[in-house]
Amino acid sequence: MELSLPSQSGELYEKDFYAWTQEQAKFLRDGKWNCLDASNLVEEIESLGRQERRELENRLGILLGHLLKWEFQPDKRSKGWFATIREQRRQILKLLNQSLSLKPYLPEALEEAYQNALDLAVRETSLGYKDFPQQCPYELSEALDASFFPGQQLESDCDW
> Mean pLDDT by 10-residue block, N- to C-terminus, for the chain (160 residues)?
54 93 96 94 92 96 98 96 98 96 94 97 97 97 97 63
DSSP character at residue 109 = H
pTM, to two decimals:
0.80
CA 55 to chain centre: 2
Rounded alpha-carbon distances, angstroms, from residue 84 to 88, 91, 125, 142: 6, 10, 16, 16
Can you tell me the distance from the alpha carbon of 53 to that of 95, in angstroms, rounded to the nearest whole number?
10
Per-residue model confidence (pLDDT) at position 150: 96
Can you tell me the distance from the alpha carbon of 35 to that of 91, in angstroms, rounded to the nearest whole number?
38
Per-residue model confidence (pLDDT) at position 122: 98
Per-residue model confidence (pLDDT) at position 158: 64
* Burial (Cβ within 10 Å: 0-12, 13-18, ≥19) of residue 3: exposed
Q: How many CA atoms lie within 13 A of 110 on its CB side?
A: 15
| C-beta separation of 127 from 72 below 8 A | yes
Can you tell me the distance from the alpha carbon of 118 to that of 124, in angstroms, rounded to the nearest whole number?
10
Residue 40's φ and ψ, nearest 5 degrees, are -70, -35
Per-residue model confidence (pLDDT) at position 80: 97
| C-beta separation of 136 from 68 below 8 A | no
Tell me the domain boundaries of the chain: 51-144
> Crossing angle of helices 17-30/38-72, nearest 10°?
120
Per-residue model confidence (pLDDT) at position 160: 60
